[in-house]
Homo-oligomer: A and B are copies of this chain.
Amino acid sequence: MERAVLTGTIDRYCAAWNEPDAGRRAEILAAVWSEGATYTDPTVHATGAAELLAHIGKVRAARPGARIERTGDIASHHGTALFFWRLVLADGSPAPEGLDIVELAADGRRITRILGYFGPLPRLPDRASA
């Protein structure tokens, strides 16, 4: 899986979350979301783009103007990827952080599954004191 392709796919996925226009959001997601791909986080299990778009719409409505920002590089092995992100509220203040584990089609252009966890994440003692 080519790194530039993988990065493009994940950043496009994040861009879908951040797009205010619902129609444009659906277009952005459609380019990277495989048919029947699942999205699971502590609050929802969504199958297919329509269910995920409905969830994103609800989350956006609850926190108008908030944005997801990927923090740091994307790690990847065996057709999977890991990235950390944070939610930045409309006033710029950071909100809970999270991580997504992504499973992708072999070419890295389509997501087949995302499993997300978000904050507060379990502490990393070494990291916190670094």
Q: Which residues of A contact B (CB under 8 A)?
A: 40-42, 45, 71-75, 77-78, 80, 82-84, 86, 94, 97, 99, 101, 115, 117, 121-128, 130
Contact = CB atoms under 8 A, between A and B. Distances in A.
Contacts of A97: 124, 126-127
B124 A82 contact: no
A122 B41 contact: no
B130 A128 contact: yes
B126 A42 contact: no
A29 B74 CA distance: 31
A41 B77 contact: yes
A45 B121 CA distance: 26
19 contacts: A40-B77, A41-B77, A42-B78, A45-B78, A71-B122, A71-B123, A71-B124, A72-B124, A72-B125, A73-B122, A77-B117, A80-B115, A82-B99, A84-B124, A86-B126, A94-B126, A97-B124, A97-B126, A128-B128
